[in-house]
Amino acid sequence: MDEQARWRKKEYTDWLRRQKKSNGLPYSENTISSYVSALTTAPSRLDGIKLETANVFEISDSSLYRSMRKMMEQAQNFDEVNVKAGNKAFQYSLAYYEDFLKELESGSISESASQHPSVNIDSGHHGLLDKNIIMHGPPGTGKTYHTVLYAVSIIENKPIDTILAEAEAEGYHPIKERFEAYKANGQIAFTTFHQSYGYEEFIEGIKPKMLSGEENGIETGEVGYEISPGIFKRFCDTALKPIVQDSNHFGIRKEPTIWKVSLGGSKENPVKRDCFNHNRIRIGWDSYGESVNEETDYSQHGGKMILSRFMNEMRKGDIVLILYDEETIDGIGVVTGDYEWLEQMENYKRSRKVNWLVKDIRENILELNGDVVMTLGSVYRLNRITLSDVLSMLQKHENAQLNSVLQQNKNNYVFIIDEINRGNISKIFGELITLIEPAKRLGMPEELVLKLPYSQEPFGVPNNVYLLATMNTADRSIARLDTALRRRFSFAEMMPDPGCLSSLVVNGELLNLSKMLEIMNRRIEALYDREHTIGHAYFLDLNREPTLDKLGHLFEHTIIPLLQEYFYDNYEKIRLVLGDNNKPEKEQFIVVKKINANDLFGNLGEVELEDSVTYKINRAAFGQIASYRKIYDYNGHE
């Protein structure tokens, strides 16, 4: 349903509230709900006619609508559909909508865009305040559901209104499919905070590993420790990675490994000069021959791990940084060929073809490498250096042809934190609490980069990373949320929306779910607070399966247990929320049983016990439509 149609539906509902019956009294909310519901759902059920649209609220011209109304009234099954709507609600609503359109055309109702429902988050402009957002509200208000819509809105640079309208017109599934595709592509990540969640999982920590002689080629078999990035740091690293073009004449692959390679040792030497001149890299251990396998004896000369990396692990499209000395490189290239044996060479016969991006340079990478010097090991991974670091180095040299190879990553990335209020914010975020500020993101005028405590790597939060969090206010209110976090996030309140619920008809009797939920929440707000109201999402399945059995199961296994949790088993307050104080006992969800102390205990002697009451859930009430209807209509009026 487009924005204009939604507005007309809302205005038509309000217009009905202003109308009077023949006796001068206004229509009840039950009647209004049935009229709007009938006009929304009934046209698509008509047989034997072809309508321009089944959504009546898309029609704004009264003349066009009059023709459409006559066509609907001539449908083969019009009387049957009208009866199912209850009390001829469809027939009456068709006539009323024509009167409404005439008033709209006369100008007495203003169709102004400013009257359209507003949204809390303007993801179409992505200003500074939109970088960090917390959706907060009671349970069941669709917070997790909306993170999918907002994440897609942010990534696609579309206003949230556009995505919401698309979800209403085409359904949630197509948007969820796009969400999953972005997630698979690394543009969306998801985590849930809990009491044990910490800095090590989120940013970085120290974890055990098996030592494998990464730099000297010797397997030790001992247990060591490594600094491991957490989920958010890995996500930020991904958002910073330059985009590698699908087809580039340098041959760089999408996720290249960065290798350090020594060509004949350090400084200038004949092997290095040959490699620079003939577009290749070469290493030795010629005495093992062209091929090595599991039976090769490495005990005298070593090199097992280095040969495995060079011959098997290194892939086409990887990047090699060539050693000049322990702090400096003098060449950057892209691997373009598989391992080959150069029989014609006197030594260093193992080779792979390389496209040189730059050579004969002097680039100090000590700081990028975490202040760790490069060893004389011929080949090993430079895990601390990223593709973004390589791009920064290449951009310093005029002869580096980059435009067709690497481009700055301008895609948007969304990191979703579910249940953000359940974690220890200070423990999890650490120094990141400052880095996530919109004005202190990388590339902003107040850009801030800090050294991480374990790795000592410089780290900042990219400007294309958005934080989207959810918070259940029934667990903790915003007022009790970490003050430092509150200052750095925008908040979007998501409260129950009873208006999105359809009515339920059982044996010709109408149950106004919208009115029922509204009254229950008003009572909860009076007895407790608005943070513990009941979300509409619990009832949405009834729109698809409007049965009393479904409603009964929902109340017995979800709504009443939720109320028991809210009111700490104070059954009198629960009874007030459910309206049981205004129903006959057989229709009460929770019945009161008086306990006579003498009947229960017999002769108490000198012990004095007062009579008390106990409470029992009446399961028979879950199968009676009156039990639900009298939550809001206890006087029995329409």
Residue type at position 119: V
| Arithmetic mean of pLDDT over the chain | 84
pLDDT, tens only, 15-56: 887 787 666 667 777 788 888 888 888 888 888 888 878 888
Q: Identify the burial level of 576 via C-beta atoms within 10 angstroms of its C-beta, where 0-12 means exposed, 13-18 middle and 19 or more buried.
A: middle
The token duo for 38 is 């009938």
Whether 207 shows a pLDDT value over 90: the answer reads: no
Res 122: pLDDT: 43
What average pLDDT does this structure show over 539-549?
Answer: 87
CATH number at residue 176: 3.40.50.300
Q: Is 609 helix (H, G, I), strand (E, B) or coil?
A: coil
Res 478: pLDDT: 56
Residue 187: band (very low, low, confident or very high) from pLDDT cuts 50, 70, 90: very high
Asked whether residue 318 falls in the same domain as residue 335, the answer is yes
Q: Is 236 helix (H, G, I), strand (E, B) or coil?
A: helix
Asked whether residue 203 falls in the same domain as residue 80, the answer is no
The token duo for 443 is 């590339």
Please tell me the total number of residues recorded for the chain in this structure: 638
What average pLDDT does this structure show over 477-493?
Answer: 73
Q: Answer for the pair 532, 562: CB distance below 8 angstroms, yes or no.
A: no
What average pLDDT does this structure show over 181-189?
Answer: 93
- Residue 369 DSSP class: T
Q: Considering just the CA atoms, what is the radius of gyration of the chain in Å?
A: 35
- Lowest-confidence region among 60-69, 83-92, 272-281, 600-609: 600-609
pTM beyond 0.85, yes or no: no
The token duo for 154 is 């942010």
What average pLDDT does this structure show over 385-405?
Answer: 72
Domain boundary pick from 405, 431, 465? 405
Q: Is 634 part of a structural domain of the chain?
A: no
Asked whether residue 439 falls in the same domain as residue 327, the answer is no
Asked whether residue 222 falls in the same domain as residue 202, the answer is yes
Whether 126 shows a pLDDT value over 50: the answer reads: no
Q: Is 638 part of a structural domain of the chain?
A: no
Asked whether residue 268 falls in the same domain as residue 385, the answer is yes
Residue 329: band (very low, low, confident or very high) from pLDDT cuts 50, 70, 90: very high
Asked whether residue 504 falls in the same domain as residue 619, the answer is yes
pLDDT, tens only, 80-120: 888 888 878 888 888 888 888 888 877 655 443 333 333 33
Whether 426 shows a pLDDT value over 60: the answer reads: yes
Whether 459 shows a pLDDT value over 60: the answer reads: yes
Q: Answer for the pair 528, 476: CB distance below 8 angstroms, yes or no.
A: no
pLDDT, tens only, 508-536: 788 889 899 999 999 999 998 888 999 99
| Separation between Cα atoms, residue 521 and residue 91, nearest integer Å | 32
Residue 485 CB neighbours (<10 A):
19
Asked whether residue 83 falls in the same domain as residue 142, the answer is no
Q: Answer for the pair 405, 245: CB distance below 8 angstroms, yes or no.
A: yes
What average pLDDT does this structure show over 546-572?
Answer: 91
Domain boundary pick from 405, 431, 458? 405
- Number of domains composing the chain: 4
Q: Is 464 part of a structural domain of the chain?
A: yes
Do the bridges between strand 340-341 and strand 223-229 make them parallel or antiparallel, or are there none, so unpaired?
unpaired
Q: Is 300 part of a structural domain of the chain?
A: yes
Asked whether residue 414 falls in the same domain as residue 280, the answer is no
Res 343: pLDDT: 92
- Residue 254 DSSP class: S
Domain boundary pick from 383, 405, 427? 405
Asked whether residue 538 falls in the same domain as residue 549, the answer is yes
Angstrom distances, CA of residue 7 to CA of 66, 334, 475, 523, 592:
20, 58, 34, 29, 46
Whether 191 shows a pLDDT value over 90: the answer reads: yes
| Separation between Cα atoms, residue 613 and residue 593, nearest integer Å | 5
Higher per-residue pLDDT: 120 or 617: 617
| Separation between Cα atoms, residue 138 and residue 536, nearest integer Å | 10
Asked whether residue 516 falls in the same domain as residue 469, the answer is no
Residue type at position 621: A
Whether 441 shows a pLDDT value over 50: the answer reads: yes
Whether 638 shows a pLDDT value over 80: the answer reads: no
Asked whether residue 288 falls in the same domain as residue 268, the answer is yes
Q: Answer for the pair 600, 581: CB distance below 8 angstroms, yes or no.
A: no
Sign of CA dihedral 382, 383, 387, 388: negative
Higher per-residue pLDDT: 211 or 227: 227
Sign of CA dihedral 228, 229, 231, 235: negative
Q: Is 635 part of a structural domain of the chain?
A: no
Rounded to 10 degrees, the C-alpha dihedral 234/238/240/243 comes to 160
| Contacts of 434-437 spanning 24+ positions with Cβ under 8 A | 435/459, 435/460, 435/461, 436/131, 436/132, 436/461, 436/467, 436/488, 437/488
Domain, as residue range, for 277 = 244-405
Sign of CA dihedral 599, 604, 610, 613: negative
Res 242: pLDDT: 78
Asked whether residue 109 falls in the same domain as residue 141, the answer is no
Q: Is 339 part of a structural domain of the chain?
A: yes
